[in-house]
Amino acid sequence: MISAEQNELMTRIGPGTPAGKLLRRYWQPVALVDEMKGERPVKAVRLFSENLVLYKTDNGYGLMQRHCPHRGADLAFGRIEPDGLRCSFHGWKFDAKGKCIETPAEPEGSRLCEHIKTVAYPVVEKSGILFAYLGEGAAPAFPHFDCFVAPDAYTFAFKGYWDCNWLQALEVGIDPAHASWLHKYFEDEDTAGSYGKQFRGVPADSELPISKVLREYDRPEIRVERTEYGMRLHTLRRISDAQTHIRVTNILFPQAFVIPMNAEMTITQFHVPVDDTGCYWYSIFTSFGAPVDKDTMRAQRLRTYPAPDYKPIHGRHDGWGFDAREQQTKTFTGMGFDINIHDQFACESPGRIADRTKENLGTTDKGIVLYRRLLVDAIKKNEAGQLVIDMEKASGPPAIDGIGPTASIDQYWKESDETRRRRSAWAA
């Protein structure tokens, strides 16, 4: 049972909060690269309860306090120039480090700008996402995870907004048992048309539709273990004495998971606080086989999470698109065929910040239990100045969906990962 105090400790991420200070020590997604491709690459951003402005110049990207330190004008309406962002009120200009480099309304020879600096954060581009470092001290190195190592042609990035606390969004990925229920389809589609869809294809080394596996083998055995990057989960569904379905999924501490989308593609998904009661998920789809069909995947997802704000077409306002007839005949939830909406319902319906004091966890929640221990332990170590972040050597991790021999299933998933990498154009 989680106490109210523990729930507050884990969920609150505003400036100065223990969880907020911990998460700020890691690189955080701030926007899709696609969002900065227009004629005017300036975007207002809210992140960790801070109002910021993201912009692009000839020298790269800048992220800084949204309101000008002169008299508070909104820099999201500023003027982009080759070397910085200029406030539209008095023309003060700032570079990507937040330093004021011009105060043109001041008298000739004024040195006022030498003393003006605003809050600014470094930004880097990785696999179609712009990441910012909001913490104190030097930023950690990026780990050699597959989503960051794969060439651009083999990755695709997208995002979506959920109206709930970041921790609720992350915890859906540590709960493998829910897939047999929340994502249950009563009929199996032609798997030949499953590109870009999760839980609609076939596992590796099988012709059995994954939708059938989840529907008919709904009491999985779940194993969890700590790793150097966070934790690994094994979800086993015994098909027969001879065969077992296995999904190997991972938590990249502190707030991402890596799961198999199908036999050839993985999803690395980050859950980034906008504030205490809202978050964006950012997904990097990584292909070990053919290059990603980005146009198809983008079009599929924009139907449910349209630009420019990537907020879903369904939510609390319409009962997440619930249809009673559909629930009787087509899907377990009655909420359509996009699993992101299913997950959104599961994360949003407990409230914007779930009251974990009322939970009754079961054996299938062992991943959630372990993650919360890791999170609280890291928060405490960070507060005591004892947390060391060294992820530079981390790689992988394996995210496998396949059906293999029951007697040697642990060997199977390791060999499956090795084989997929060996055959890949970039991961060998």
Give helix 366-383 / helix 4-11 axis angle, nearest 10°: 70
Tens-digit pLDDT profile for residues 264-323: 999 999 999 999 999 999 999 999 999 999 999 999 999 999 999 999 999 999 999 999
pLDDT, residue 191, reads 84
Predicted confidence band of residue 233 (pLDDT cuts 50, 70, 90):
very high
pLDDT, residue 255, reads 96
Please name every residue paired with 131 in a beta bridge, in sequence order, or none if there are none. Answer: 29, 124
Please name every residue paired with 223 in a beta bridge, in sequence order, or none if there are none. Answer: 234
Nearest 5°: the CA angle 174, 162, 363 is 20
Tens-digit pLDDT profile for residues 213-224: 999 999 999 999
pLDDT, residue 256, reads 97
Chain-wide mean pLDDT for the chain?
95
Look at residue 391 and tell me whether its pLDDT is greater than 90.
Answer: no
Predicted confidence band of residue 183 (pLDDT cuts 50, 70, 90):
very high
Tens-digit pLDDT profile for residues 100-135: 999 999 999 999 999 999 999 999 999 999 999 999
Q: How many CB atoms lie within 10 A of CB 299?
A: 11
Q: How much is the average pLDDT of 235-262? A: 96
Q: Give percent of the chain with pLDDT exceeding 70.
A: 100
pLDDT, residue 131, reads 98
Look at residue 194 and tell me whether its pLDDT is greater than 90.
Answer: no
Predicted confidence band of residue 38 (pLDDT cuts 50, 70, 90):
confident
Helix, strand or coil, per DSSP, at residue 358: helix
Look at residue 172 and tell me whether its pLDDT is greater than 80.
Answer: yes
Distance CA 117, CA 69 (A): 8
Predicted confidence band of residue 205 (pLDDT cuts 50, 70, 90):
confident
Tens-digit pLDDT profile for residues 44-90: 999 999 999 999 999 899 999 999 999 999 999 999 999 999 999 99
pLDDT, residue 200, reads 87
The alpha carbon dihedral of 339, 256, 428, 294 has a sign of: positive
Q: Which of 272, 27, 31, 260 is nearest to 146 (CA)?
A: 260
Distance CA 340, CA 224 (A): 24
DSSP E strand boundaries for 276-427: 278-287, 395-396, 400-405
Predicted confidence band of residue 96 (pLDDT cuts 50, 70, 90):
very high
Look at residue 376 and tell me whether its pLDDT is greater than 90.
Answer: yes
pLDDT, residue 23, reads 98
Q: How much is the average pLDDT of 139-158? A: 96
pLDDT, residue 190, reads 85
Residue tagged 């077992």 (tokens): 244
Tens-digit pLDDT profile for residues 319-370: 999 999 999 999 999 999 999 999 999 999 999 999 999 999 999 999 999 9
pLDDT, residue 272, reads 98
Please name every residue paired with 226 in a beta bridge, in sequence order, or none if there are none. Answer: 231
